Amino acid sequence: MNFSLSSLSSELTCPTNASMHYTNVNLLLSRPSVRVSCSNKNGDMQVSNRDRRRNVTISCQLIHSHLQDSSDRKERVQVPLHKSDSIRTLLIDNYDSYTYNIYQELSVINGVPPVVIHNDDWTWEELCHYLYEDNAFDNVVISPGPGSPACPGDIGICLQLLLKCWDIPILGVCLGHQALGYVHGAQVVHASEPIHGRLSEIEHNGCQLFNDIPSGRNSGFKVVRYHSLVIDSETLPEELIPIAWTSPTSTLPFIGSVDSDKFSAHETQTEDSIFVDSFLSRVGNGSSILSDCRKTKGSRILMGIKHSSRPHYGVQFHPESVATCHGSQIFKNFREITNDHWLKFRSSYSKQNHAHSYACMQVSSASKLFREVGRSIGSENNAMDQLNRVVSGDRCSVHNNAETNCLETFIKVNANHASTGYKFLKLKWRKFGGLAGKVGGAKSVFCELFGHDTENTFWLDSSSTEKERARFSFMGGRGGPLWKQLIFRLSDQSDGCSKGGGYLSMEDCQGSMKNIFLEDGFLDFFNKELQSFHYDEKDYEGLPFDFHGGYVGYIGYNLKVECGVTSNRHKSKTPDACFFFADNLVAIDHKNDDVYLLAIREGSSSITQWLDDAEKKLLSLNSTVTIESDRQQSYPLSSSSCKVGFVAEKSREQYIEDVKKCLNYIKDGESYELCLTTQIRKPIEELHSLGLYLHLRESNPAPYAAWLNFSKEDLSICCSSPERFLQLDRNGILEAKPIKGTVARGATKEEDEQLKLKLQFSEKDQAENLMIVDLLRNDLGRVCDPGSVHVPHLMDVESYATVHTMVSTIRGKKRSDVSAVECVKAAFPGGSMTGAPKLRSMELLDSLECCSRGIYSGCIGYFSYNQTFDLNIVIRTVVIHEGEASIGAGGAIVALSNPEEEYEEMILKTKAPTKAVMHFD
C-alpha cells in the first residue's frame, strides 16, 4: 500500500514523554469526508474495502492539551465502589471476520453482550457522547482487521479513541494492537514472514493482563497468529511497555490441545492430543510441521504492549481463536483491569446511570438500524441482534421497564407483519420400513418415480453414507397444487449498493407466470415467504428428518451482494437463485433402509391422491427391480457429437500469476487467506444430463450430492459435493462443516495412508482449515446464543473416491429471534470459498477472477416450511446450461502456499466431474 511503514506520517507527531500527552499532536477529528485512495507497493490500484462506508480523510486539527481535555469530561469522584456484576463493552469492528468470536467470549465473561459497531459507524462526537455524556460503556475492545493502522480507511475512528480517551480501558487485538503502537509513535513494519493460522509459544512479563497464564517455552501458552505486519520493538516509545514476545521462527503445528471452553461448549474433543513424533518418518518431506519448532534467534517479535499510565493494552495474537490456549483468561483479566480502574474513578451514582443509558442506547440503536433496510445481517447489526444484547438470557443484567416495553412492542409489530397472508399447511406422510434395499435403493426409486420425465425434478442425494456422513435423501418433481418455481436474477443496477434488487419470475402448478421486481432482493422476499407458513408440529412427530416439504434449489455466489458485499464485478450467466416449492416428496433413510412419502396441502385440501399413486408405484418396484436397474444403466454414454475437451478460463501461467498476487495481498495484510477459483468449460450437444449425474454419483459418491433440473432455464446441475455449508435442525442447532486441505488418493494402500498422514500434519493445510473454522465460528456467533458456539471436531481427515480432505465441524444454538434466512445471510457465501477477512477477501477475489462463479461456490439444498434447512457448498459440480458444461474449482491461498502446487490442487478438484463428462463424449 502507498503508505510509510517505517515512519509516522507528518500529520501525526507523537510525544516521547508521558508528560507531553496531547501537546502539539495533529490527528483526525472532523467527520470523515474524502476517501483516501490506497495503492499497493507496485502502484496497482487497491480495491476499495467498503465503498458503501463513509469516506475517510485525515484533517489536521490541534488536539486539546491534557488539562483542556479533562475539563470537557464529567468529573469523576474517587470513591471506592463494589465491583460490577457485569461489564459493558463497546466492540469496534474493523471489518474483520473474527470480531464475533470476541463478541461471544465477552458476552459470557462480561455478563452482558457487547455493542458492536464498525469503525466508521459513529462520528467522534457520537462516540464521546456515549462514553462521557451517557457513561454507556465500561471499556472498549478494538478488533482485528485487514490492512494497516496507517491507512485511515482500515482503522477508522480507533486512532482518535486511543489517543484521546486516556481514562477508558481499551484492549486492542492484532490491528488494534498495532494501532496502539502506531498512534504513540512506534513504527509498523512488514514482519519477516506473514503468519496466518499458525501457533506460537508466548513469553510474557506477568502483568495483570496475563494473570494466571503460564509463560515461555513448553509452558502450554500457545496462541494463534494472523498478521503480516508487526510493531518494530526498537521504535517503541517510553510510554509503551512491552509485555509479551515470541521467537521469530517458533511456529508450531496444531496437535489437538486447546482450551476446552472454546473448543466445545457441550461436547469434548474426541482426542485430546495427537502425538506427532511417531508419524514423522512416514509423513516425509512434504510436511513442515516441526521443521522450525525449536529454532530460536536472539531477537524476539513483540506480541503485547501496555501504556505506562493509561489502562490501554494490545496483543498481536488472537486470543479468541479456537486453538489459542488461555485466550478466555485474557478477556477475564481485562474485565478485572476494567473493574479495578472504575473502582478508583467512577461514583456509584454515575455507575447506576451508566447501566440505564447503556440499555437505552442499545434499544435506540436497534430501532435506527432496523429502519435502515439497505444494511444486511451479513455486515451490520440488525435490530434483533441489538435487542438480544439487552435480553440475552440470565447473564444479561440490564433490565428495566422502558426497554422491556420497547421489546414487546417491537415483537408485536413483527408478529402482526408476519401474520399477513399466512398459509396454514397440513402434512400427511407414510412410512415403508426396510423397503429401500428391496427395490434397488435411492437410484431405483428416483428413476421409477421421477426419471421418465426429468423436467423440473430434484434429488438431494446422500450417495456417500459411510461413517454416518449423511443419512437422508430427498427427491421429487413437479407436484401438487402448492408446487411453484422461483427464478431470480439480480438487476444490472445491483452494483454499488448492498441491496440492488432483481427480477423474480414465479410459475405456479398450472403454468401461470408472474414477474415482479424485488427492490429489497431475493433473500428478503424469501425470508417473508418462509415466515408466512403456519403449521402444527404434531404433523411431523415421528419423522427422523427435518425436511417435510418446502423449497428446494440453489443460491448462486453473486447473492453475496445481499449479504454485505458492495457489488458484483461479473454477471452470472445462470439465474442467481432457483427454487421449487416441493409439496410432494420422497425421503429415504439410508441408515434404516426406510422409505417415506410426504405431501403437504393448504387448509383442508385433499392430500391422499398423490400418496396413493406414489405408494402404488413404489411397491410395484419389488417385482421389477432387476429390469429397472438394467434400464437405468442404458443411458447413452456418448451422445455428444462435439469432441473438444474442457477449456480453462485462465491458463496455467495466468492462474499461477494470480496466486502470486494473492500472496502479495497477504504479505501486505489485506487478507489472511484468499480462496482463488476459476472455471473450465466445454460445449455439449444433447447430453443426457440425468445419465451424467447417475454416472457421477457412482464414480464420486458424496454426502451432499444433488441433481436439479430447471427445464425452462435449460439448466441441469450435477453435484457431488462433500461439503456442508450450513444446517439448521428442529432443535435450533446450526452446524457448518467446512473443508480446507485436499490431497489425492494414493495408488497403493501404503501410499494412500502416507498421503493421508501428510495432509493430517501439514502445517499449511492446518492453517487453511483453522482460519476458516475461526471464520465460521464468527459467522455462527452473529446469530447464536452467547457461549453456545463450539467445535466438536477440528481438522478431521475424511476420505473420498479421489481425494482425502480435512474437515471441521462448528455448531451453535440459534438465537430465538433470528430466522432461518437470517442465519444464511450471516454466513453466505461459505467461508471456505472466500477466505478471511471475508468482505475484503471477496472484493480482492472479484478483482482477480475474470468471470462470475455463478452457481459454483453458492449452495444447494432445502428450506423446510418449518424453517429448518440444510445446504451444501457447490463444489465438484457440473453445471449444464444452454449447450455448455462448466466446472468451477480453486483453492485457498495462504502465506505458505506454493503457486505451482496450488494450480495442481485446483486441477485435482476437477478430476472427478471432468472425467464423468468426458465419459459421455
CA–CA dist 21, 24 (Å, integer): 9
Considering the candidates 174, 675, 719, 859, report the single residue annotated as catalytic: 174
**Catalytic: which of 105, 203, 239, 320?**
320
CA 252 to chain centre: 25
* Among candidate residues 663, 576, 681, 655, the one with its CA nearest the CA of residue 844: 663
CA geometry: angle at 260 spanning 268 and 262, to 5°?
Answer: 105
Cα separation, 14 vs 17, in Å, equals 9
The x, y and z cell numbers of residue 126, run together, are: 457520537
Q: DSSP assignment, residue 507?
A: E
β-pairing, 724-728 vs 869-872, is: antiparallel
The CA distance from 93 to 144, in Å, is 7
Q: Give the span between the Cα atoms of 361 and 130, in whole angstroms.
A: 8
Name every residue whose Cβ is closer than 8 Å to that of residue 265 and which is 6 or more positions away in sequence: 787, 788, 789, 790
Under DSSP, is residue 883 helix (H, G, I), strand (E, B) or coil? coil
Backbone angle region of 546, left / alpha / beta, with phi > 0 → left and psi within -120 to 50 → alpha? alpha
C-alpha distances out from residue 387 to 303, 351, 361, 394, 825, Å: 36, 22, 10, 15, 19
Amino acid at 569: R
- Cβ atoms < 10 Å from Cβ of 408: 10
Q: Is 320 a catalytic residue?
A: yes
| CA distances from residue 627 to 440, 617, 634, 758 in whole angstroms, order as listed | 10, 15, 11, 46
Q: What is the C-alpha separation between 827 and 781, in angstroms, rounded?
A: 10
Q: What is the 3-state secondary structure (H, E, C) of 250-291?
A: CEECCCCCCCHHHHCCCCCCCCCCCCCHHHHHHHCCCCCCCC
**How many whole angstroms separate alpha carbon 96 and alpha carbon 179?**
15
3-state helix, strand and coil shares in percent for the chain, rounded to the nearest 5: 35, 25, 40
d(CA 313, CA 335): 12
In order of 87, 285, 759, 795, the CA distances from 750 in angstroms are: 56, 16, 14, 22
Note whether 458 and 582 are within 8 A (CB).
yes
Return the residue matching grid coordinates 471489518. 95
Told to judge if 174 belongs to the known catalytic residues of this protein, a careful annotator would answer yes
d(CA 703, CA 720): 8
Which residues lie closer than 8 Å to 32 by C-beta, 6 or more apart? 54, 55, 56, 57, 120, 152
Q: How far is CA 326 from the centre of its chain?
A: 24
- Shortest CA distance to 596 belongs to which of 464, 475, 466, 708? 475
Q: 3-class DSSP state for residue 514?
A: strand
Residues 6 or more apart whose CB falls under 8 angstroms from that of 634 comprise none
Q: Which of 21, 118, 227, 318 is catalytic?
A: 318
Secondary structure (3-state) at 131 = helix
In angstroms, rounded to a whole number, what is the distance separating the alpha carbons of residues 264 and 788? 8
C-alpha to C-alpha distances, 131 to 78, 376, 388, 793, nearest whole angstrom: 18, 27, 21, 41
Q: Which residues are catalytic?
A: 174, 318, 320
